């Protein structure tokens, strides 16, 4: 099959599966005047964490080389079975990830959890700290990740080589974050030593950051745990939140959950952010 053929059939498959997903089952609000029974393109884009334009180009066969990360995100958003997921990977000209690679499948249970935590910022990461899925509140708090591609979606890469985040740091807190992330990434490499994407990530970080190389060569192994963070938000101001990292047994996923202490100004700012996010999604 030609590249164009792959793109055309890939797009048809995505469209078919999009039509069969009921918006309510994906945690989306359903209005009274809705012609489509399945997901709209913008809804699929939101659930998969990619742009509407990219979904459109994939369905129309104008984008023919989606990355494994994009295919995995679409498979999860479309609630595909194991066989359907493998078929979608092969339509994209890719081999489905094997057991020796970092798992990046967001299970239906985790997706339902995000649906129920609509008022809480939650990001789902794989074991290498690559963002797989973010709910609308996470995007509202930390910035919309739908345009991030490749290593841009990786939290360690963004710390050492990226443009930075909205999280406020002192020199001490930044050094602590860097050390924790590198130690955690080394532990992940120990579990998945044959993963080529993981090797590429570490090689790029070593080549681009002397600080990363120094910490990597020190050989520390650890786990990135909970923290208290202040996020400088452009609309609601600084918000200080507890950031808890929850592990999902069996899938090696991490859920980063941001909460505020009830009755505090930070909780009020988070509620105001929720209202802004809801208005943006309906406006």
Residue 71 pLDDT > 80: yes
Torsional class of 225: left (φ above 0), alpha (ψ -120 to 50), beta (otherwise): beta
DSSP letter, residue 97: P
Say if residue 2's pLDDT is above 50. Answer: no
Q: Residue 246: what pLDDT?
A: 92
46 and 141 both lie in a single domain: no
**Tens digit of pLDDT for each residue in 197-233?**
999 999 999 999 999 999 999 988 888 877 899 999 9
The CA distance from 213 to 197, in Å, is 18
| 95 vs 15: which has the higher pLDDT | 15
Residue ending a domain, among 91, 124, 156, is: 91
pLDDT for position 34: 60
Q: Within a domain: residue 101?
A: no
Structural domain range at position 198: 108-282
Query: In terms of domains, do 166 and 268 share one?
Result: yes
Instruction: Report the residue count for the chain.
Output: 283
Residue 257 in domain? yes
Tokens found for residue 279? 């208005």
Average pLDDT, rounded, for the chain: 87
Q: What is residue 3's predicted lDDT score, i.e. its pLDDT? A: 44
pLDDT bracket for residue 35 (50, 70, 90): low
**Average pLDDT, integer, range 80-89:** 84
**In this structure, are 120 and 216 located in the same domain?**
yes
Would you say residue 157 lies in a domain? yes
Share of the chain above pLDDT 70, in %: 91
Query: DSSP letters of 8-48?
Result: HHHHHHHHHHHHHS-GGGGT----SS---SS--HHHHHHHH
- How many angstroms separate the CA atoms of 257 and 222, rounded? 20
CATH code for position 78: 1.10.260.40
Confidence check: pLDDT of 276 > 80: yes
214 and 78 assigned to the same domain: no
pTM across the whole model: 0.69
Q: Give 137-145's long-range contacts (Cβ < 8 A, gap of 24+).
A: 137/273, 137/274, 137/277, 138/256, 138/258, 139/277, 140/273, 140/274, 140/276, 140/277, 140/280, 141/166, 141/231, 141/233, 141/239, 141/258, 141/273, 142/166, 142/231, 145/49
How many independent structural domains does the chain possess?
A: 2
Same domain, 58 and 135: no
**Residue 167 above 80 pLDDT?**
yes
248 confidence band (pLDDT: 50, 70, 90)? confident
In a domain, 103, yes or no: no
Asked if residue 133 and residue 71 are part of one domain, the reply reads: no
Burial of 86 (0-12, 13-18, 19+ CB in 10 A): middle
């Amino acid at each position: 099959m030609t590249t164009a053929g792959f793109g055309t059939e890939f797009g048809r498959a995505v469209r078919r599966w999009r039509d069969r997903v009921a918006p309510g089952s994906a945690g989306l609000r359903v209005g009274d005047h809705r012609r489509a029974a399945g997901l709209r393109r913008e809804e699929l884009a939101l659930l998969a964490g990619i742009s509407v334009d990219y979904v459109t180009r994939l369905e129309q066969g104008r984008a023919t080389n989606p990355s494994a990360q994009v295919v995995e995100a679409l498979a999860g958003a479309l609630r595909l079975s194991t066989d359907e997921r493998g078929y979608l990977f092969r339509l994209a000209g890719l081999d489905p990830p094997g057991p020796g690679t970092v798992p990046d499948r967001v299970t239906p249970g985790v997706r339902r959890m995000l649906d129920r935590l609509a008022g809480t910022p939650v990001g789902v990461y794989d074991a290498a700290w690559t963002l797989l899925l973010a709910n609308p509140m996470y995007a509202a708090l930390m910035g919309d990740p739908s345009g991030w591609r490749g290593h841009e979606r990786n939290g360690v890469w963004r710390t050492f080589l990226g443009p930075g985040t909205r999280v406020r740091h002192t020199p001490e807190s930044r050094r602590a974050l860097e050390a924790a992330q590198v130690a955690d990434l080394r532990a992940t490499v120990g579990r998945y030593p044959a993963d080529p994407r993981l090797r590429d990530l570490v090689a790029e970080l070593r080549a681009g950051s002397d600080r990363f190389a120094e910490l990597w060569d020190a050989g520390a192994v650890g786990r990135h745990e909970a923290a208290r963070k202040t996020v400088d938000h452009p609309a609601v101001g600084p918000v200080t939140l507890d950031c808890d990292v929850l592990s999902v047994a069996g899938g090696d996923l991490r859920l980063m959950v941001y909460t505020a202490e009830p009755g505090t100004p930070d909780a009020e700012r988070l509620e105001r952010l929720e209202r802004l996010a809801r208005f943006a999604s309906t406006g």
